[in-house]
Chains A and B, each alone.
Chain A
Amino acid sequence: MAYKDADCRKTPKKKKKKKTNMASLSSDEWRAICDKFTNAQNLTDVESRNDPENDLFRSKYKARELLREIYCSLKSFEAGEGDEDGGAESSEQRAAEPPVDGQREDGFGEGFSGDSPAGLRAAKLGAVEYYLGVNHVDTEELSAGQEHLMNCMKQLGRCRVTSENVSLFIHVRNQLGILWAGRDETETAQGFLETAESIYQRYMKEDGSPPTDMTEYFTSEEKLPTHQERTKRFELAYTHTMYYLAQVYQNLGETERAATYCHTTLQRQLQLNQFSPMEWALNAATLSQYYITKGRYMEGRHCLSAATVISGLAGEAPSEAVAQESETESDRREQLRQKRAEIARCWIKYCLNVLQDSKKLLEDNIGELDTDRQEELKRARRQEEEDEEKGRKSALLFGSEDTFDSIASLEEKVCCLSPLDFTEARGVFLVGQNYVKQAKEYFQMDGYVTDHIEILQDHSALFRGLAFFEEDLERRCKMHKRRVDMLEPICNDLNAQYYLLIRRQLMFELAEIYNEMMDLKLTLANRQADTQSLDNHTIKKFNSLCSASAKYFQMFLDSLCSPEGKVPEHLEEEVLRPALVARFRVARLHSRLISPLLSAQLDNLNKSLENYKYVAEYCETHPEAAAAVETELELSKEMVGLLPLKINRLKAKMATNN
């Protein structure tokens, strides 16, 4: 079955001189059509919301009848003309192959001028077809819907794009885009939508006057919309085109393009003043997270600054006192506070990622600051700054006249380039810490345990990022101590049953922090060893940090056991590596404890051996685990081989001493 509409769209040249159009309609008849149309619109947009569940499409079916009547009226007054534009009635056929909306047929070629009588007539018939198409699609009769929409395309195919019909050109393609996307024919959908995009762009370039809205075809003169209203509706249709393209690209896996189109959608909502501030702000903040994970901090920062500024337009949250008066106010307070806190959390992630990325750039193979690299990057900085300036000019910017400056000034408060020294890192840290404070005001421990802790974990991670840049080891150690202070009490107090997974994260992190502090103490001790004697105090400190680290790794391991305390035979995938790494590190920590007593030394070495053995043996019985802990396994095996040597020597020594 050939798809006949495809041919129809290629026949715009068949010009026929037509003198008459709707002139044969009396004004009463015309008014009746207009009333029917208004009625149908009302049924579709308003009444249908109240349809009962068991007759879901009642109003839409009624609207369909009215639209059909309008169509017949238009046709009957045109009897004897336009015989090739029939087909709506006979259209039971389905497309055998999808029509492709090619770029060449974007309606700027030859054909009726939109304002000619024939052009107007085609547009009117096309519009009714369009509404019938949408109606059928809405009532889940996709094939019939498609038929009507393609009839509309056919009508338009005979016309050139002008301000009288350009809106319909866009609308019908939007609908066809949705339709084909729903059938998993994403490329077909893409074709229609991209054509809509280029029609809009060309129209705006070549004409740009506020175009006729489709509803105007059936609106009596006194009710015609203003220029402003026309523009608004037209631009909104194009905003939808952008939004649909975003989804099409996402479905095609082109996330980069999808993000750009989401960005454009947001930008247009703002420009055209078609948005609700909080919703818009939250969307922009969410988009920032896309950019952040891509390492595109300039865009991320821009989205966040805009989010903060626009969220301000939603007004102050009602005070607690006001909120207690009514549920509406209390809901509003809740909503505003929550969403602002969520935007703050998006900012925290921004600062965190900027710090962490920069750490990755600057660290050497054992995680210390590589000063050569630092110098090199500082030299390259000038170029980066220039690029940023350029990028800023070419990027898609949010903002209207009154918000633009506030957005820009917020952006200036935090850098979007990787910080290269402590001062720069501290700047990012402080901004992040400030948002931590804001977010915690809403997400308090009492009521929002999970969220509150996630924020604390971010705060801790901000400190970790900053500590990397701190050259003074004492101060660095203090930063880690701050992390311990914020996480340790929570980890120990939380309900272990309900917050198991969070506690595991906390245990692991605490173990790592103590380990880090231990290493720092050791480095400091090593530096001092030249001139002063190391006292028992230092050894004690070292041992206590070492034990604390081992304790938390052990707690983590214990949390994997059954309620009866049985060690799991099989480690679930998401804890496999952490569990084996924890064993490995416990082993190492035990071998590092300093003790003057040979028996204690022996004890520690035995514990160490036991844990190395566990790693080696687990990977032997579960060969699939080996890949997750390659290095650790190799070293564990080595140690399983070598530690007995030390142990036996120690034993021998003990024997001699006795």
Chain B
Amino acid sequence: MAGASVKVAVRVRPFNSREIGKESKCIIQMSGNTTTIINPKQAKDNKSFNFDYSYWSHTTPEDSNYASQMKVYKDIGEEMLLHAFEGYNVCIFAYGQTGAGKSYTMMGKQDVKDQQGIIPLLCEDIFVKISDNTDNSMSYSVEVSYMEIYCERVRDLLNPKNKGNLRVREHPLMGPYVEDLSKLAVTSYNDIQDLMDSGNKARTVAATNMNETSSRSHAVFNIIFTQKRHDADTDNTSEKVSKISLVDLAGSERADSTGAKGTRLKEGANINKSLTTLGKVISALAEVNKKKKKVESFIPYRDSVLTWLLRENLGGNSRTAMVAALSPADINYDETLSTLRYADRAKQIRCNAVINEDPNNRLVRELKDEVSRLKDLLYAQGLGDIIETYRATGADIEGLKYVSDCKNNNNKDQAVNQRGDLSTVTNAMTGMSPSPSLSALSSRAGSITSLHDRIMFSPGSEEAIERLKVNTG
């Protein structure tokens, strides 16, 4: 089922100290896969959303409803890893307001047992699965890369010396790639952990230097996983490469690409103040129309790196999951609601690759003609009832046998052409030998299909002609 839609999960965390300090109230409720948010200003105003998973991690593990790190991994991480072993590219996106728990879900606390997030658990699991393998013909290799996207610029986190802006590109054979991004081979989970640590440090260092925080950048950790099978008999090696992308999206409250401080992504009908966002407004206008009518249009990208990233993970043969992190506190109502809405939309995210079909009116007409010709033929033979029987029972062998038993004289005479009103039918049945001398065809048939039909309808039609002549003559 290639092109499956995105799996979407939401997860709510406990209060943080700031929220406790402000005596926050919890505005998130979960029941089954449904998440409900309550408007703190109007208690009656609550909104519910259905997701593939709704994780209640607001309380402690003692709570029977509590969703642990392992539970989240089992549901999402394991399934994705399985797909990777099948040969699919997989991707897990984390989304949400800064401080809503994205990093906890994705990374967790490194050194605390039971606190590790999806990324370390998944990396660990890869090597467990590899070492579990007993098939000698199989060999595996794992490479990783780690990059950061900030304001349309891409940085290599595993090679911080590479300061320049890396370019995202697509190669016809190799697929999408980041130019000059370092790719390091790893042989154990510890290797991955070390690289991830150093990458995270590079991210933090850069953040301090440039007075920007990680909350405004996207981080992408890639695991390139290669499975090789060596066939001893033929000495052939076949290779299956899949890429696992773990994407920590920038805080949703910073989704405003202008980067203007204090401009937050609120729900509702906000007005963009600055004329620098005119392009966004116009794009949205053109987009509405594009969706409504199936008309071709081109809307220039405003976020090309992010577009590239999404395209990479949604445009190919890949499996994608998204985890949206939620703050439970009333003070974050606007942003949490916006996160929920985004996650709700994510369920429908698909890459925009519609199959544009030419209208097949001509084909339909031809086929309708053929159907009626075949039917006429049967009725003409007095077998109309058989069609009905046949259609009613699904397979009436009797009737068909009868048809095939009708062995009449082969008659290649074209006398039937005189019957103007039935000319298509008769043309169709003009006796033709299977190896036709095409020049002998009657050229009177106007329809494009007639030549063809004269050829194709020939087998076995001879026997009917005599009957037809008798009936109509």
Contact = CB atoms under 8 A, between A and B. Distances in A.
A343 B401 CA distance: 66
B384 interface: no
A639 B371 contact: yes
B172 A646 contact: no
A377 interface: no
B165 A365 contact: no
A500 B360 contact: no
A366 B361 CA distance: 5
A307 B266 CA distance: 32
Contact of A501 (B353, B375, B404): B353
A500 B317 contact: yes
A345 to B, nearest CB: 5
B173 A339 contact: no
Interface in B58-90: 86-89
B247 to A, nearest CB: 17
B275 A652 contact: no
B3 A653 contact: no
Interface stretch (B24-32, B412-420, B443-451): B443-451
Given A286-B299, A349-B296, A642 B275 contact: no
A367 B4 CA distance: 34
B317 A497 contact: yes
Nearest to A534: B438
Interface string A425-461: 0000000000000000000011111100000001001
A57 B262 contact: yes
Question: What does DSSP make chain A's interface, helix, strand, loop or mixed?
Answer: helix
A575 B261 CA distance: 43
A562 B359 contact: no
A582 B463 CA distance: 34
Interface string A314-341: 0000000000000100010000000100
Given A293-B289, A449-B170, A635-B364, A500 B315 contact: yes
Given A495-B174, A522-B449, A648-B404, A327 B165 contact: yes
Interface string B249-282: 0000000000001101011111111011011011
Interface in A44-91: 48-51, 53, 56-57
A585 B363 contact: yes
B20 interface: no
Contacts of A645: 374, 378, 400, 403
Contacts of A49: 261
B283 A286 contact: yes
Interface in B329-368: 350-351, 353-368
A199 B304 CA distance: 41
B14 interface: no
Contact of B300 (A282, A366, A563): A282
Interface string B430-446: 00001101110101010
A512 B360 CA distance: 9
A600 to B, nearest CB: 10
Interface stretch (B121-129, B190-198, B453-461): B453-461
A522 B317 contact: no
Contacts of A445: 172
Contact of B213 (A53, A282, A293): A53
- Residue among A250, A523, A597 with max Cβ neighbours from chain B (10 Å): A250
B316 interface: yes
Nearest to B291: A293
Contact of B3 (A239, A458, A500): A500
Contacts of B374: 642, 645-646
Contacts of B382: none
A649 interface: yes
Contact of B299 (A266, A289, A500, A650): A289
A590 B207 CA distance: 63
A560 B1 CA distance: 6
A645 B300 CA distance: 55
A526 interface: yes
A487 interface: no
B232 interface: no
Contacts of B164: 327
Interface stretch (B112-120, B154-162, B320-328, B387-395): B387-395
Contact of B390 (A140, A189, A641): A641
Contact of B356 (A182, A505, A563): A505
A293 B290 contact: yes
A592 B452 CA distance: 7
A469 interface: no
A649 B407 CA distance: 10
B392 to A, nearest CB: 10
Given A493-B172, A642-B374, A526 B2 contact: no
A181 B270 CA distance: 6
A504 interface: yes
A445 to B, nearest CB: 6
B296 A352 contact: yes
Interface stretch (A146-154, A219-227, A566-574): A566-574
A259 B364 CA distance: 40
B171 interface: yes
B295 interface: yes
A534 B400 CA distance: 34
Contacts of A639: 367, 371
Interface in A265-299: 265-266, 269, 279, 282-283, 285-287, 289-290, 292-294
Contact of A450 (B311, B358, B452): B311
B213 A286 contact: no
28 contacts: A53-B213, A178-B271, A182-B269, A250-B281, A269-B275, A282-B279, A286-B283, A289-B290, A293-B286, A331-B165, A346-B298, A349-B298, A352-B296, A367-B362, A446-B172, A498-B170, A505-B355, A508-B357, A509-B356, A512-B357, A512-B358, A519-B362, A522-B449, A574-B3, A594-B452, A596-B434, A596-B435, A646-B459
Q: Which 6 A-B pairs have the closest CB atoms?
A: A649-B460, A498-B175, A533-B439, A501-B353, A534-B438, A652-B404
Interface of B: 1-5, 86-89, 164-165, 167, 169-176, 211, 213, 241, 261-262, 264, 266-273, 275-276, 278-279, 281-286, 288-290, 293, 295-301, 311-312, 315-317, 350-351, 353-368, 371, 374-375, 378, 387, 390-391, 395, 400-401, 403-405, 407, 434-435, 437-439, 441, 443, 445, 448-452, 455-457, 459-461, 463
